Amino acid sequence: MNYPIWEIPILGGSWLIGIMACIHIFISHFAVGGGLYFALSEWLAYKNNDEAMYDYLKKHAQFFMLVTTVAGAVTGVGIWTVIALVSPDGLHTLIQVYTFGWACEYLFFVAELAVVFVYYYCWDRVSRKTHLQLAIAYAVASILTLVIINGILTFMLTPDKWIQTGYWFDGFFNRTYWPSLLIRIVIMASMAGMYSLYTASKLPQTTEAEASFRDRMLQYAAKWFIPTFAVGPVLAWWFGLNIPPDVLHTIQNGMQTSGVGNFSILARASYLGLILSGTIIIFAYVGPYLNPRVFTPKMALAFMVCGLLVTSIGEWSREMLRKPYVVYGHLYSNGLRISDIKTINETGYIATSKWKPQLIEGDVAGNKMRMGKAMFEGQCLACHTKGGYRSMPNMLGERDEKAIVAFLTTIHSTDKAKNPYMGIMPPVAGTVDEVDALATYLATLRKPQPEMH
């Protein structure tokens, strides 16, 4: 272990990251999509001299500012914080490889935040032409933050030539960069529509003029879903063509075996995402577009919940696609690098660790257990828990220590032909004795077995 361990009960580290990430992404996608929404909507209001739309946009801007600059910005720092706690080696690698990439994103982020404050607080204080320029400036700045972060996120899945060259550019503009960027942009547009469904649904409809304006804004918001459903599938297909073959195989295999109930978790997530996305588009058409009068804020909130779920599934799937790596083909999710596995197998995991168990002279059995526990904490705890998400006792099932040794021996191998788990789990790293110690420790985690008669 290069770093000390933080054991997160029940949830495990991956869920903790996931919760923070889902909240952040749901808001940050609104922050970027909202930039496009304000720029286009204000341009329409400016062109048509549409006072009602200006009034609506001002109210929407306050909501936008309060959500994006507070919860959006802070959860962004939150993701960074939680990844650093769960996967210090992973985050340090990303920071070190892309220091000035992060720094560039920070500059665009400063521009984005500064302009959103001026945009909101200077409403009615500057000319409408200047205000439109502010909206456009915001849209550009927010897209540019995406341009940077998308490079770093896709680098984690498809670092491409960076693995050989170490040159940042090779990893940044990788083969999933463009499909991912475009997918995110169209999804962000939908997010903007989704949030504006909420604020538009709260508009008054006491007079016919108010009601018809409300109808117009709801129908306008619903149209923001069109890009995702028009080009989203094509972009997703393009993205799929470029993901690592092992991952593609896992998804395809899951799809093909769904008839026999054996489909993979990734395939299940894809189905669920598709069903929810279909639900959103159908109800966006039937609800706010065709029947805006009966569309209520509660319905808009229901849309947002669906949106949050789809976003979460999308991001979760993206994380799953990358498993078992933090940086595909370079760094495993438990902080071990591929290049170190051979040395660790020869020298020993404990010996190469910085944070070692406290061994006691003469206590052979106890020391074996301590080493096994250290192996578990260092190599398994990044993805498994002792009794919650991906629970180790559940995974072990009814295996006895001998069966556990056999399983660990399989995943000790780095040869794909011998280790069928290579695509989904890091190999166990360490000497034969350490693997044996891990098995001994794992055997203590098993659920109590029924007595044999």
Partner 1 sequence: MPDVASLSSVVTALFSGPLHPDAAHATAAMVPHYQPVPMPAPIWLLQVLLLVGFITHLIPMNVILTGGLVSAGLLGRSPHGTRFGNTLAAHLPVYLSVAITQGVVPLLFLQLIYGPLYYVSTVQQAWPWLSAIPVLIVAYYSLYGYKFSVKDRTKVGPVGYLLLSSLLFAFIGFGFVNMVTLMTDTAHWQEGATRTGWFLNVANPQVIPRFLHMWFGSLAVNGLVMGIYGLVFLKRDLAYGQWLIKTGAALYAVITLLQFGIGGWFLMSLPKAQMLAFMGQHAVATPLMMGSLATTVLSLVMAMWAWQTGKGLPMVLTQSLGLVTILGMIGMRAILRYINLASLVTPDLLPVKLQLDLLIAFLIIAVGLVIFLTWLIKTAWKGFFPEAK
User: What would the x/- binding string for partner 1 be over residues 155 to 174, using CB under 8 A?
Assistant: -----------x-xx-----
Question: Counting contacts by CB under 8 A, is residue 147 touching partner 1?
Answer: no
Residues 6+ apart with CB under 8 A from 12: 381, 383, 384, 385, 388, 389, 390
Site for partner 1 in 8-37 (CB under 8 A): 8, 20
Dig out the tokens for 448 from the structure: 């109590």
Contact present, 401 and 440 (Cβ < 8 Å):
yes
Contact present, 244 and 158 (Cβ < 8 Å):
yes
Q: Mark the segment that binds partner 1 (CB under 8 A) among 125-133, 247-255, 272-280, 300-308.
A: 125-133
| Nearer Cβ to partner 1 (163/281) | 163
In this structure, the number of other CB atoms found within 10 A of the CB of residue 174 comes to: 22
Q: Which of 290, 351, 406, 432 binds partner 1 (CB under 8 A)?
A: 351
Question: Closest approach of Cβ 298 to partner 1, in Å?
Answer: 23
Q: Which of 38, 109, 316, 328 binds partner 1 (CB under 8 A)?
A: 109
| Nearer Cβ to partner 1 (126/396) | 126
Question: Closest approach of Cβ 5 to partner 1, in Å?
Answer: 5
Q: Mark the segment that binds partner 1 (CB under 8 A) among 33-41, 202-210, 353-361, 388-396.
A: 353-361
Residue that is written with structure tokens 């997918």 in the block = 183
Q: Mark the segment that binds partner 1 (CB under 8 A) among 53-61, 153-161, 227-235, 348-356.
A: 348-356
Task: Report the alpha-carbon distance of residue 170 to residue 137 in Å, rounded.
Answer: 29
CA distances from 181 to 100, 187, 339 (A): 20, 10, 30
Task: Report the alpha-carbon distance of residue 397 to residue 449 in Å, rounded.
Answer: 9
Contact present, 127 and 298 (Cβ < 8 Å):
no
Task: Report the alpha-carbon distance of residue 198 to residue 55 in Å, rounded.
Answer: 16
Q: How many residues bind partner 1 (CB under 8 A)?
A: 76
Site for partner 1 in 359-388 (CB under 8 A): 359-361, 377
Q: Mark the segment that binds partner 1 (CB under 8 A) among 100-108, 196-204, 216-224, 414-422.
A: 100-108
Question: Closest approach of Cβ 230 to partner 1, in Å?
Answer: 33
Task: Report the alpha-carbon distance of residue 36 to residue 43 in Å, rounded.
Answer: 11
Question: Closest approach of Cβ 435 to partner 1, in Å?
Answer: 17
| Nearer Cβ to partner 1 (81/279) | 81
Burial of residue 416 (CB within 10 Å: 0-12, 13-18, 19+) is exposed
| Nearer Cβ to partner 1 (359/424) | 359
| Nearer Cβ to partner 1 (123/271) | 123
Q: Which of 49, 164, 206, 358 binds partner 1 (CB under 8 A)?
A: 358
Contact present, 320 and 266 (Cβ < 8 Å):
yes
In this structure, the number of other CB atoms found within 10 A of the CB of residue 165 comes to: 11
Please work out, in degrees rounded to the nearest 5, the angle formed at the alpha carbon of residue 176 by the alpha carbons of 171 and 179. Answer: 140
* Helix, coil or strand: residue 39: helix
Please name the amino acid found at residue 311.
Answer: T
Question: Counting contacts by CB under 8 A, is residue 97 touching partner 1?
Answer: yes
Question: Closest approach of Cβ 16 to partner 1, in Å?
Answer: 8
| Nearer Cβ to partner 1 (18/292) | 18
Question: Counting contacts by CB under 8 A, is residue 114 touching partner 1?
Answer: yes
Q: Which of 92, 268, 386, 399 binds partner 1 (CB under 8 A)?
A: 92
Question: Closest approach of Cβ 118 to partner 1, in Å?
Answer: 5
